[in-house]
Amino acid sequence: MSALTPPTDMPTPTTDKITQAAMETIYLCKFRVSMDGEWLCLRELDDISLTPDPEPTHEDPNYLMANERMNLMNMAKLSIKGLIESALNLGRTLDSDYAPLQQFFVVMEHCLKHGLKAKKTFLGQNKSFWGPLELVEKLVPEAAEITASVKDLPGLKTPVGRGRAWLRLALMQKKLSEYMKALINKKELLSEFYEPNALMMEEEGAIIAGLLVGLNVIDANFCMKGEDLDSQVGVIDFSMYLKDGNSSKGSEGDGQITAILDQKNYVEELNRHLNATVNNLQAKVDALEKSNTKLTEELAVANNRIITLQEEMERVKEESSYILESNRKGPKPDRTSEGQALSEARKHLKEETQLRLDVEKELEIQISMRQEMELAMKMLEKDVCEKQDALVSLRQQLDDLRALKHELAFKLQSSDLGVKQKSELNSRLEEKTNQMAATIKQLEQSEKDLVKQAKTLNSAANKLIPKHH
């Protein structure tokens, strides 16, 4: 985390500003993302201390879950507010390609996934928010139509895709807030799917459900048949909520550069986490390949065993036919010994046949397991491709942030040069003002001297006039 530490020459905020900025705070990784109006502002957690009281350790699960709930609530607030404002300015029906609407669904998906209990499957643990959404039709009869429509869609194959389709249909119906409120009020039903400290089980879930009422003013229209909702990557695009450098004043350039650096550090941290996830998935793929190789070797051994058993069966059949033929041609000594030998041969043949059937059954099981492993590998490869696409997108955002940082640095340098020129001009003006003030004082003194001389001359003239008369 040393690479993520902000510069030490940052201005230290006052206690009042810190308290005001911490009213709404999102905690992501090791950063505090505070709400500055309707924008995000990142700072490292170790920079400040909001209260003198000791805080819980960051390793406390309840503390982390509370921070995550606050993060998601503030992100939902930003997303809903931005969606409503942009939709009202746009003044038309929104479709699935509208970027703020896509980000809203991504944020809602993260809110519904928070604190989900994992269900074990063949491919590992699976967390899906489709289960809680299915409960809505039991609480609100109007939602049965949406649930039935989602189940009838032919292109949806995963629970995640069905959950995403349900959210879109509920928004089109302008009933999303009502359905979420009905679901949150039944916490005894939600406890089957969520942990006790999940967002849907706490106060933040009720706040988000109340915020969703504002979306009833939006008209949305989606075509579900053309969308691939199963394989979409749900990554929140924070660049939509960053301040625009062109609208900033020159005096705020230093703070903007600091914010951009913090955003860049956060994106790099998120990129590191995604790289770790990709490495884990690659390790799983390698383990599956090893398992597949082992199953292939076992299948080859089973095939060799089947071939051996078939050869032995042929040999037993030949021996049986030879014994029968010899019994027909040769003398007939003891029928009892021949019958015993024949019965033993038949018993041996029956055992070999049963063994062959068992081997064939085991072979079918091995083949089915291999097919399942191949399917799992394909799904993991698809997931790896999606993660790589997300990494490419994040790197593009990082490049954009760097370009914005250079632009702000250039503007700050230009602003500093202008301030320096103005300071020099101001000093010259002050010098000229001082010179003019000195000149004015000299003129006033000369005027006083002239007045005195005039008075003296006047008095002398007055004295001379009477003498003349």
Task: Show me where the domains of the chain are located.
Answer: 21-42+61-239
End-to-end CA distance of the chain: 108
> Mean pLDDT per segment of 10 residues, for the chain of length 469 residues?
38 44 42 48 44 49 83 87 84 78 88 81 62 86 86 83 88 89 88 88 89 86 74 69 47 60 69 78 84 84 85 82 72 61 80 85 85 84 83 85 87 87 90 91 90 88 71
Pick from 300, 268, 302: nearest CA to 394: 268
Query: Two tokens at 42?
Result: 């990142």
Place of tokens 């690659």: 282
Q: Which residue has the tokens 């590998």?
A: 377
Q: Mention every residue, 6+ apart, whose C-beta is less than 8 A from residue 199.
A: 68, 69, 72, 73, 111, 114, 115, 205, 208
State the burial class of residue 398 (Cβ atoms within 10 Å of its Cβ: 0-12, 13-18, 19+).
Answer: middle
> Residue 104: exposed, middle, or buried by beta-carbon count in 10 A (0-12, 13-18, 19+)?
buried
Angle at which helix 253-329 crosses helix 335-468, to 10 degrees, equals: 170
Find the radius of gyration of the CA atoms of the chain.
Answer: 42
Using alpha carbons only, what angle is made at residue 389 by residues 383 and 394, rounded to the nearest 5 degrees?
A: 125
Which amino acid makes up residue 86?
Answer: S
Euclidean distance between CA atoms 456 and 437, whole angstroms: 29
Spatial distance between the Cα atoms of 164 and 105, rounded to a whole number of angstroms: 8
Query: What are the distances in angstroms from CA 329 to CA 332, 338, 340?
Result: 9, 14, 19
pTM: 0.44
Torsion of CA 82, 88, 92, 93, to 10 degrees: 50
The torsion angles phi and psi of 185, rounded to 5 degrees, stand at: -70, -15
Give residues with Cβ within 8 angstroms of 377, minimum separation 6.
Answer: 285, 288, 289, 292
CB 62 within 8 A of CB 55: no
What pLDDT, on a 0 to 100 scale, did the predictor assign at position 8? 38
Q: Which of 89, 45, 81 is nearest to 63 (CA)?
A: 45
Task: Give the CB-side neighbour count of residue 156, counting CA atoms within 13 A.
Answer: 20
**CATH code that applies to domain 21-42+61-239:** 1.20.58.900
CA 401 – CA 185 distance, rounded (Å) = 42
Specify the 3-state DSSP secondary structure of 242. coil
Q: What is the dihedral of CA 211, 216, 220, 224, to 10 degrees?
A: 70
Beta strands in 216-375 (DSSP E): none
Write down the pLDDT at residue 262.
65
Count of C-beta atoms within a 10 Å radius of residue 363: 16
- Burial label, 73 (beta-carbon count in 10 A; 0-12, 13-18, 19+): buried
What is the rounded distance in angstroms from the CA atom of residue 35 to the CA atom of residue 252? 17
Q: What is the pLDDT of residue 440?
A: 93
